[in-house]
Amino acid sequence: MPLPGLPPAVVALVAELKKWPGVGEKTATRYVLHLLGRGPEALSGLKDLFSKVAERVRPCPRCYFLAEGDLCEICSDSSRDASTICVVESAPDLVAIEKMGEYRGLYHVLGGAISAVRGIGPDRLRIRELLDRVEAGNVNEVIVVTGADTEGETTALYIRKALEGKGVRVTRPATGIPMGSSIEFLDGITLMRAMRGRRDI
């Protein structure tokens, strides 16, 4: 339970923040009290920022990352290598790879991984959209950077099979990524080495 005596509106905000990754009740309460301590202007400014994000940011129609214009910043960058597509499960995974500052190709965000346990089949992911991009031409390599767990491996193998006969190289980061690891939490050096040493699957 949050600290006793908090108004219902504050309790509700704490409960909402607890839903965020890595935020427990203690941290959520501290965040809320810190915001309240900064005064109404700070709260109003934060509210405006959230409103702008809600109104302006949408999935990029090409790669499904975050976009504020017609396309995301990455897809709009003509200096990127359009012949290489890095496939990731989620936006945080994409951000982790971008932070390396080394990969210069494009991306494709699946929106998850195949999971029999959770009832997520290929039809619930953006695999068909990936195939459409490859079939449109000019793609030489698809790098599948899904999680190093059963679901990630299953997804990678499914994509490899779906791309058979389409004239593209399908690769996966080299060993060195610990089993069960999420891409977004890997340190940059480990991820960089794995990407550099990627192999055909």
- CB-based contacts of 158-165 (< 8 A; 24+ apart in sequence): 158/114, 158/122, 158/127, 159/87, 159/127, 159/130, 160/201, 162/122, 162/127, 162/131, 163/131, 163/134
Q: Which two tokens stand for residue 72?
A: 């995301």
Q: Which residue is listed with tokens 């490859």?
A: 134
Query: Contact 173/96 with Cβ under 8 angstroms?
Result: no
- What is the pLDDT, as a whole number, of residue 183? 76
DSSP state letter for 142: E
Q: Which domains does the chain have, with CATH numbers?
A: 8-56 (1.10.8.420), 66-200 (3.40.1360.10)
Write the pLDDT tens digit of every residue in 142-183.
Answer: 999 998 889 999 999 999 999 999 999 999 988 656 565 567
For residue 101, with 0-12 CB atoms within 10 Å meaning exposed, 13-18 middle and 19 or more buried, which class applies?
Answer: exposed
| pTM (two decimals) | 0.85
Does residue 18 contact residue 28 with C-beta atoms inside 8 Å? yes
**Both structure tokens of 142:** 């698809």
Average pLDDT over residues 62-85: 97
Tell me the pLDDT of the chain averaged across its residues: 91
Work out the average pLDDT over 49-69. Answer: 96
* Confidence at residue 131, expressed as pLDDT on a 0 to 100 scale: 98
Looking at per-residue confidence, does 122 or 3 come out higher?
A: 122
pLDDT in tens, 91-131: 999 999 999 889 999 999 999 999 999 999 999 999 999 99
